[in-house]
Amino acid sequence: MARKKEFDEDELLNKAVALFWDKGYHATSAQDLVDGLGINRSSLYNTYTDKRTLFTKSLRQYQAKNTGAVLSMLKNVVNAQEAITQLLYAVIKESEEDELAKGCFMVNTAIELSSHDKEIGSLVAENAKSVEDAFARTIEKGQQDGQFTKAKSAKALAHFVFSTISGLRVSARSGVDKQTLEDIVEVALSALKA
Amino acid sequence: MARKKEFDEDELLNKAVALFWDKGYHATSAQDLVDGLGINRSSLYNTYTDKRTLFTKSLRQYQAKNTGAVLSMLKNVVNAQEAITQLLYAVIKESEEDELAKGCFMVNTAIELSSHDKEIGSLVAENAKSVEDAFARTIEKGQQDGQFTKAKSAKALAHFVFSTISGLRVSARSGVDKQTLEDIVEVALSALKA
DNA sequence: ACCGATTTGAAACATTCGTTCCGAATCGGT
DNA sequence: ACCGATTCGGAACGAATGTTTCAAATCGGT
C-alpha cells in the first residue's frame, strides 16, 4: 500500500538514546539528530513528531532496556547479597567500558529536566520507584536470610542503595577513577551487612 | 574619571548563580540573564565578556560561598562524627527550604558539562577534591577518636560520604520527600560507625 | 563648566534553532 | 503497468540564539 521505511525504527531509537545520553536534551540539536541518526529531517519529524517526543521515546527505550534488565535480574534472586553486590559492581564495569563517561541516562535527565518538565519528571520518578521497589524486595529477602542488617527497614536500605548508585553515576559522569568507585561500593555494601 | 557602575557586581553574580543553578547552562538564555539580572545586554557583555565566562564566574562564586563554608566548618572540628552528621542533615534541610528543587550547582554542572567542557570539568573536579580532602581529614580524626570504623581508609570513607551527598542531591533535584532523604543519611552514617 | 572616559539603552547582527513544506522518488496492491 | 499512499531529500520558514555596535547619557577630574 505504500513505500517501505528505509530504516529500522528500533535501531534508530537506540542511536537517539546514545546521542541524548551523551549530550543531554538541550545540547543535542535537531541537526545533531539528523547527522547522528543518518536520516532526513522529514523522516525524523514524520516519525517522531518533534524533538521532545523523540526524547521521551528515547527515555522510554532506555528504561525498557536498562531498567528492564535490572528488574528481570532481581525477579528471581536466590542470593540477595550477591545480587546487590553484582549490581553495584556492574555500575563500575559499565563506567569503565564507557569512554564517553555518559553516566546514567536517567540520572542525567533527572538533573537536567525533572524539575522543569513535569511529564519527564514523573517518568523519571516512576522509573526510580520501580527500581527501588525491586531493591526493597531483594533486600527484604536478604534480611530474612540473615545477610542484611535488620537495624533499618528494607525500604530505607533500598533508598540508600538507589542513592548510592546515583552518586556512583554522578562520579562516573565526572570521570573519577575506578579505585574511587570501588571505595564507594565497598563502604556502601558494608552498610547493608548484618 | 568615569561614570559609576549602577549595579553591585557581587550581588549580580549571586543572581546569575541562582539562574544557572535552577535551569542549567544551556537552558538559560542570554535573554533570561538580562531579565533575571535586571541589567542591560551591553552591561552584561561588557562586564562578563560572554555567557560562558559568566557561567564559570558564577560557578566560582558558588564554590567560594558554599564549598568555602563547608571547608571552613571542617577546618577546626572538635567532634568529627557530629560534624559529618550535621553536614549530611544540612543537605536535607537545604533541599527542604528550596522549593525550586535546585539540588547542588556543582552536581548539576558535573552532569551537564563536565564530560564536554574540559575547563569546567576540572573546576568541578578540583572542587570535589578539596571537599573530599577535608572530609578525609575529618574522618581520620574521627577514626582516631574511635568514632568511625577503621575497617576502611579515611580516604575511602571520604569518597563514600561525598558520593552519598551527590546521591542526595540528585534525589533532592528529583523532588523526593524528606523521609527518603533521612533514610539515606541514616544508613550512610551507620556505615561510618566504629 | 567642560573634557575624557565609561556605562547605558536599544537596535541590529549573523547564526543556529526547531519545524514545515513540497516536489520527486519509491513502494504495495490490483 | 499503473494507481494510491507514503517516504525521502532539500530548501525554506519564522523565531530565538549569543553577540556586537553606536549614539546618548552620565560620571569624575581639572
pLDDT of residue B92: 96
Q: For residue B50, how many other CB atoms are within 10 A of its CB?
A: 10
Estimate in Å the CA A41 to C1' C22 gap, whole number: 14
Per the CB < 8 Å rule, is A174 touching B125? yes
CA nearest to B57, candidates B27, B12, B114: B12
Q: How far is B43 from chain A (nearest CA, A)?
A: 27
Separation of B53 CA and D11 C1' (Å)? 36
Indicate yes or no: CB of A157 within 8 angstroms of CB of B115: no
> Are residues B134 and B74 in contact, defined by beta-carbon separation less than 8 angstroms?
yes
User: What whole-number distance in Å separates Cα of residue A159 and Cα of residue B148?
Assistant: 23
Contact B58, B37 (CB under 8 A): no
* Cell 543572581, residue located: B15
Q: What are phi and psi for residue A148, nearest 5 degrees? A: -110, 150
What are the pLDDT digits (tens) for B5-55?
666 778 889 999 999 999 999 999 999 999 999 888 998 999 999 999 999
Domains of chain B (ranges; CATH) run 59-192 (1.10.357.10)
Hey, which residues 28-87 in chain A have their CB within 8 Å of chain B?
A: none
Q: Determine, for residues B164 and A168 on separate chains, whether the beta-carbon distance falls below 8 Å.
A: no
CA distance A66 to A85: 17
H or E stretch at B167: helix B154-174
State the distance between the two ends of chain A, measured CA to CA, in whole angstroms.
Answer: 64
In angstroms, the separation between the Cα of residue B114 and the nearest Cα of chain A is: 6
Helices B105-113 and A105-113, interaxial angle, to 10°?
120
- From first to last of its 194 residues, chain A has per-residue pLDDT tens of 555 666 677 888 999 999 999 999 999 999 999 999 988 899 899 899 999 999 999 999 999 999 999 999 999 999 999 999 999 999 999 999 998 889 999 999 999 999 999 999 999 999 999 999 999 999 999 999 999 999 999 999 999 999 999 999 999 999 899 999 999 999 999 999 98
| A131 CB-to-strand D distance under 7 Å | no
Determine the length of chain A.
Answer: 194
Q: Which residues face B193 on adjacent strands?
A: B148
Given CA atoms B190, A187, B128, B33 in this order, what sign does their dihedral have? negative
> Radius of gyration over alpha carbons of chain B, in Å?
19
Q: What local confidence, expressed as pLDDT, does residue A6 receive?
A: 60
Q: Which residues of chain B have pLDDT under 50?
A: 1
A170 touches chain B (CB under 8 A): yes
Q: Which residue of B has its CA nearest to A180?
A: B159
Q: What angle do CA A111, B95, A178 make, to 5 degrees?
A: 50
Q: Indicate yes or no: CB of B110 within 8 angstroms of CB of A168.
A: no
Q: Is A100 part of the contact surface with chain B (CB cutoff 8 Å)? A: yes
